[in-house]
Each structure stands twice: as C-alpha cells, then as structure tokens.
A and B are shown apart, each in its own frame.
Chain A
Amino acid sequence: MGDFERKVERFIEIFINQNGYVKVVEGLKNTLLIAILGLIIGILIGTIIATVRVIPKYKVLPRILNGICSFYVGLFRGTPMVVQLLVCYYVMLPLMGAHMTGVQVAILVFGLNSGAYISEIMRSGILSVDSGQMEAGRAVGLSFGTTMIKIVIPQAVKNILPTLGNEFITLIKETSVVSFVGAADLYVAFSYIGSNSYEFMVPYLVMAIIYIVLVMIISLGIKTMERSLRKSDRRH
C-alpha cells in the first residue's frame, strides 16, 4: 500500500501547495449554483406547466396552452441533457447573437430540463390533492389561480417532496456533464488536479466522496423539511 500513500501525498501536495483547493471550491460553487438555481427555475416552470395541464379544457385557450406545454415536456424529456447543453451553447446562442458563459447556459438548460420533469411530478402531486379542496376554495369565491396557489399547490408540494428531493439529487449528479460547454464544475476541478499529478486515482475517489456527502446533506435537509411540512397532518 506504499504506492497508495504516495498517491495520497501527491494529491495533497497539489491540492494545497499548487492551489488545487481553489479549483475545487470554485467547482463546488458552480456545481451547487447550477443545481440549486436549476431546481428553482425548474420548480417555477414545472408548477406553471402542471397548473396549465390540470385546468379544465372546455375552452380554446387552455387547450392551446396545454398543447404548448405537452410539446415542451416532450422536447425536453426526449433529448439527453448533454445534447440540450450543446445545442443551446453552440447552436441557439450564436444564432441569437447572444453571449452567455458556460455556467449561465448550464443553469438555463438545467432549469428548462428539470422544469419538464418537475411538471409531471407536480401534476401528480396536484392530482393527489382531494378535489374537494379546490371546490371549497371556489365555493368561497376565490379564483382558480388563487385557490391553486394558496390551497392546492402547498398540499401538492408536501406530497411530492420526496420525489422533488430525488430530482434535486439527480440534478447535482448530472452537473458533471457541464464541462461540455466549458463550465468548471467539480469534475473539471478534480481532473485538473489529476492531470497535473499524472495521478487520477485519489482525485476521483475524493470527488466521489464529495458527491456522496453532498447528497447525504441534501437528503437530511429534505427529511427535516418534510417533517415540518407534515405538521398539519399530525394529530396531537
């Protein structure tokens, strides 16, 4: 195992003496930034789409909106995330003449992509809330939208929180593909250390550990949140 110890020493040397940790901190920051902002955008888009999809479809406008949403969901679920990143960065941006950094593009694409998935999660959450809740809201004179925001969606979110947590964990892990558009995430940081030391074993091991710790912290946070949201179910 002397070989392994040497590798660890080499890793520590680069990590500390050659500013490897700066890269790692930077990568961690980007990874979290992309995942968290992506999730927030995703929840916003997902909630809007889910709401549109549960509106009764007697009229023309809801039908058109519903069609657009179905198309959106189909588009983003039907292509891999990497392809979406590449298309956005190398096709859409030049066509529009806009300039965005890799991290910004990653946040945008992660948001749009997870929006498509979250919309389905949210829709199942909304459908899981008793229809009597919507009726009661409408019966006291609140509009569909108000009842949705104040009554139905909070209860839906409570029901889907574990699944939503899953989505967040997936996002964290999927950030490892953003180096395709030049965003420096954890993977980029550790492969930098690896290629500087000609030694990949320890850096990638540490990277895996960091991902696991991140996911464990998130799971814990979700559990705490779930418990506080379950307040209204408890009998005491």
Chain B
Amino acid sequence: MIDVINLEKHFGENQVLNDISVTIDKGDIVVVVGPSGSGKSTFLRCLNCMEDPTGGQIIFNGVDIADVKVDINIHRRRMGMVFQHFNLFNNKTVIQNIMLAPVHVQCQDLRKAKQKNLLLRFTNLFRKEKKALEPITTTKVKIKEDARENALALLRRIGLEDKADVYPSTLSGGQKQRVAIVRSLAMNPDVILFDEPTSALDPEMVGEVLDLMKDLAREGMTMIIVTHEMGFAKEVANKVLFIDEGKILESAPPKEFFGNPKNPRLQDFLSKVLV
C-alpha cells in the first residue's frame, strides 16, 4: 500500500534520512525503533509529507505523494496521524475535534459538486447532447448528523461518551490520546501513523492507549508506529524496523528482530533498552 523508494531528507547540510526503501502492505503493523536523533520520527513525518522529502518517492495507493504537484490534502485524508503531544484542537470540544475534518471535507465535496452541476446546467443549454448532472444524495444537515453519530459511536468505543461536550483541557493525557486516535479514525483512513503516542503520557495511562492500538491492530488496520515500547512491538508488530543515522539497519519480524538481531548496532541498542 505504501512503497517508500530511496527516501532522502536533509535539513540544510544535515542528512537525516539516507536512502530509505521499505514496502508496507495492507494490514501491516510496522514498528519503528531506534536511538533518539536517529531519524525515525522524521521518517514517519515524511510518509505523509509533514516534512517534505528532499529526494525519493513515496507511492501511496499508486500515487507519488512526495511529488510537490500532488494535492497532498486529499491523500492525507486517507492517512491518519497521531502525535506525541496529542495536538487536539484546543478551541473545539471533544466531539467537534472528531467531527471537524469529516464534516469539512464532505461539505467541501458537496459544494464542489453543486458548483459543477450549476456549470453543467448552464452549458447544457447550448449542448445538443445533454451531459448528465452529478448525483447529489446528501445535504449539509445530513452530513453533520452522520458525522455526529459516527463521532458518538467512536467515543462510545473508547468509553468517553460523557466527555463529548467538554474541552480537551479537562481530559487526562490518556484520554486525550485516545480521542486523538479516534479523531484520525473518523476519516476512515487506510493507514494510521503513530509518532511516539505514549511518550508524553504518565506511566499509568500508557496501558489504555496501547490497548486501543492493539484493538485497531486486531481489526486489521494498517499501522506504522514509532515507539519505545518494546513489549508492544514484540506483541503486536509483524515487522520491526531499526533506524539509525538515517538508515534502516534491520527489518525483520519481531521474533527474529528481538531473538536473533544481526546488526551489531541493533544488538547494542537492544542490550540497552531490554533490561
């Protein structure tokens, strides 16, 4: 589903990613680990062009989204992202956070279809063979109602239905992160990128977020996760990548990755984190 080909990224003189190639299939749970400053977050952020890659290609659903001519906003809708610091919209309530993007995007599409129909109707006046109008089956009100229902269902799923109308500032870290995860789910993405989703949480809240992520994994969601939770990687991932100094040094299923690491630097890394 995602083909990363010779991805490169440098900030000025500083080469952060160096010739990274990796293929991610539908349903894959890819965990990316590595020492800090190794470029793993940058790699993840390049996947949805939060950082513009300076070289290489990222083929997502058959389109090279690293190309600057591509409308990245359309492809990002199919790619959720969860941040270390949650980044919930502070000026919106919990449910508005979840509804905002789906409602906006669908209303935008509706508006475009209406404009197109208007133009077609006008040009049809001068055409012998009338062109068919685009069918419009929905309305703004219906879009909003559907989004609201969907958002409530998502909140029910994480047990935060009663928090629908409060502002994010009143939630705990774990609750915020779970809301952030369902916010990205609301767009029905093909893949979700997790950028150290548990690093900013109190230890007692890590569990609830990881449980939700495991749930998603069980449902077959494609996920790419940058994390320091080695236990989680062992349990859930079907592929673990080790990135250091901007290169993928090892890529293997978790059993092999943790049981029989080949790269000496990975061996060193694991000996430090698995104590």
Contacts and interface: CB of A to CB of B under 8 A. Distances in A.
B72 to A, nearest CB: 8
A141 B78 CA distance: 8
B127 to A, nearest CB: 33
B169 A141 contact: no
Given A132-B85, A135-B83, A142 B91 contact: no
Contact of B169 (A130, A139, A233): A233
Interface in B54-110: 73-77, 79-81, 83, 85-92, 100-101, 104-105
Contact of B48 (A139, A143, A235): A139
Given A155-B91, A232-B90, A139 B167 contact: no
Contacts, number: 79
A137 interface: yes
Contact of A133 (B75, B87, B183): B87
Nearest to B183: A140
A135 B87 contact: yes
B77 A140 contact: yes
Interface residues of B, number: 31
B170 interface: yes
Contacts of B169: 232-235
Contacts of B183: 140
A138 B50 contact: yes
A10 B45 CA distance: 76
Nearest to B74: A141
A228 to B, nearest CB: 12
Given A133-B89, A133-B90, A139 B50 contact: yes
Interface residues of A, number: 24
A56 to B, nearest CB: 10
Given A138-B50, A141-B101, A234-B169, 6 more contacts: A133-B90, A136-B88, A138-B76, A139-B76, A140-B101, A232-B91
Interface of B: 48, 50, 73-77, 79-81, 83, 85-92, 100-101, 104-105, 167-170, 180, 183-184, 187
14 contacts: A132-B83, A133-B90, A136-B89, A138-B76, A139-B184, A140-B183, A141-B76, A146-B104, A151-B89, A155-B91, A232-B92, A232-B168, A234-B169, A236-B170
Closest 10 CB pairs of A and B: A141-B77, A136-B87, A132-B87, A140-B101, A139-B81, A232-B167, A141-B76, A154-B91, A141-B73, A155-B91
